[in-house]
Amino acid sequence: MQNIYGMTRQELENYFLSIHEKKFKALQVFEWLYQKKNTHIESWSNIKKEIREKINENFSFEMPKIVRIEKDSKTRKYLFELKDKNFIEAVVMYHDYGISLCVSSQVGCNMGCAFCESGRLKKVRNLMTYEMVCQLLQIEEEIENRISSVVIMGIGEPLDNFENVMNFINIINDPKGLAIGIRHITLSTSGLVPKIQELKEKDIQINLAISLHAPNDELRNKLMKVNKVYNISQLISAIKDYIAYTNRRVTIEYVMLKGINDSKECAIELATLLKGMNVYVNLIPYNETNHMEFKKSDRTTISKFCETLKKKGINVTIRKEFGSKISAACGQLRSKEVEK
């Protein structure tokens, strides 16, 4: 049985047409589910009883379960248990400008980045669309507030789950769905070049973030297995094509690893690589984990790296640290639960 939270409005329209009903019923269903947050189908007063019965017969309303919440002053981390007893996690971050949510797109991850806790436990499966949508719905209910922006950079490689992620974006962006503005949705990828090209063709105006983390192939090969398949030259070419096609600035994510990729030489090499591109670099203080040998670059080193990039004409910011006291590293809460 298909889960109703995994259906785009167009898919629901097709469903109603298939049962010889008017397609505007899909709009009414979306309003009950996402505007009124009402799952008590018997109270859907503008939908006939026989149609409600068909919806009940054909669709599940089941959601993943929140099984643990860790909190600090500006962050909440959620552990979800899925129907098949797998675990995923999501993180809420409170900013001056609103509340953002980082969602997972897979159970585990096969990218195997050397510094990343998510990839230490391999990919089990892709998340279904509804399992992504329900992360947002249940967290909005728990915090009793509206999520204003979404980043798809939790556990998993979003572009390795392309169709479900595109449907997720469709539902949360739909004005009768969760109505999150398309430019308030960010997708982060480790660099699956063919999928970046496929995303480009969609031309959906989301924010694209590229996990680069190294300025040359030798270093990136050591940190990120994906680079052995799609090297930096291929990735930069794909980014340039994406920018030219969509006219959107791309974020370059660069996690700061002590003594690995944080030297002045790395900064100069990175600036040379990105010169003239419509990008900005987001320097990310590393969240340390017991299972990884990597350490976080100190503040002075990060500041010097940032200044070197600025002097070379690169737009750059240093990401504010969130959740350092609550299993902050992506995948850390899940791995604790799995290894129990």
Which residues are part of the catalytic machinery? Answer: 89, 330
Is 79 exposed, middle or buried, given 0-12, 13-18 or 19+ CB atoms closer than 10 A? buried
Distance of CA 167 to the CA centre of its chain: 13
Q: Where are the alpha helices (DSSP H) in 31-161?
A: 49-58, 129-143
Between CA 185 and CA 208 the distance in angstroms is 9
How many Cα atoms are found within 13 Å in the side-chain-facing hemisphere of 212? Answer: 31
Structure tokens at 183: 């430019």
Are 46 and 57 spatial neighbours (Cβ–Cβ below 8 Å)?
no
Q: Return d(Cα 209, Cα 191) in angstroms, integer.
A: 9
Interatomic CA distance for residues 276 and 262, integer angstroms: 22
At 284, phi and psi to the nearest 5? -115, 115
How far is residue 15's CA from residue 9's CA, in Å, rounded to a whole number? 10
